[in-house]
Structure 1
Amino acid sequence: MKNLLFLPLAFLIISCYQTERHCKDFKTGSFYSEVSIEDVLYTSQFTRSNDVQVETYNGKSDSAHVRWINDCEVIFKTIHPKNMAEHKDIHLKILTTTDSSYTFEYSYVGETKKQKGVAYKIRD
């Protein structure tokens, strides 16, 4: 009987807990990211200003316009797309933050399949 009284209280406490995110800390700066797709780890480095992000992956650089939807969600639009896939905008959402990193999910705008990764702020 005591367990039945404890159970609703536990659900109440757990449901009130929300992960605190400090997304503004990651709007600009230099970062490196790690994304695992089918057990393969992909890493890249990027620098983001208020309106442009320049990313380097496998020795190649790519630039995108940055448009923040809110403090934790951003849309990237490739500046000079080289193929049809690069014409698609990318939606990125910051899920959690720490003092030096953030976990994110991203997908092409309008698509439901999402990938997750972690970005780490590079200290100058």
Structure 2
Amino acid sequence: MCWELAARAPTLWASDRTPGWAAVLDTALGALRSAGNVRGTAAILVLRGVVSGEHDPRLGEAQIQEALHLFEDLGDGHGQALAWSRLARTHRVGCDYRAALRAAGKATALARRVGDRGEELNALQCIGRHT
């Protein structure tokens, strides 16, 4: 339950609060891995990747890629769309605009397929920032 609370509090991810928020996410991640909760682990890895990506895009990308593989193993289309969308953002922060466009395109397609209009909008906004 705590990981769900952490995952639903995006306003706390502001850059000035990143160090404290990273510690919260790391604690949640450790607990989820210990409990064998794969979906929760993937969700928190996406968030951890977003936080990491603000300062180290390569680390953020690696964390989100790990989450993406977990969501793929679970067959979780919503999770995959989320991961691709956040990966696009991380690529954009790292100035890898081609990779950002590819990831955003994959996120858009997946979000449409599973009917996740919110994530589709996030991905389209990412595309819009590159054109």
Fold in common (TM above 0.5): no
Higher helix share: 2
Q: Which has the higher contact order (CA 8 A, sep 6+)?
A: 1
Structure with more of its chain in strand, by fraction: 1
Give the structure with higher Rg (CA). 1
Q: Which TM-score applies when normalising by structure 2?
A: 0.28
TM-score (norm 1): 0.29
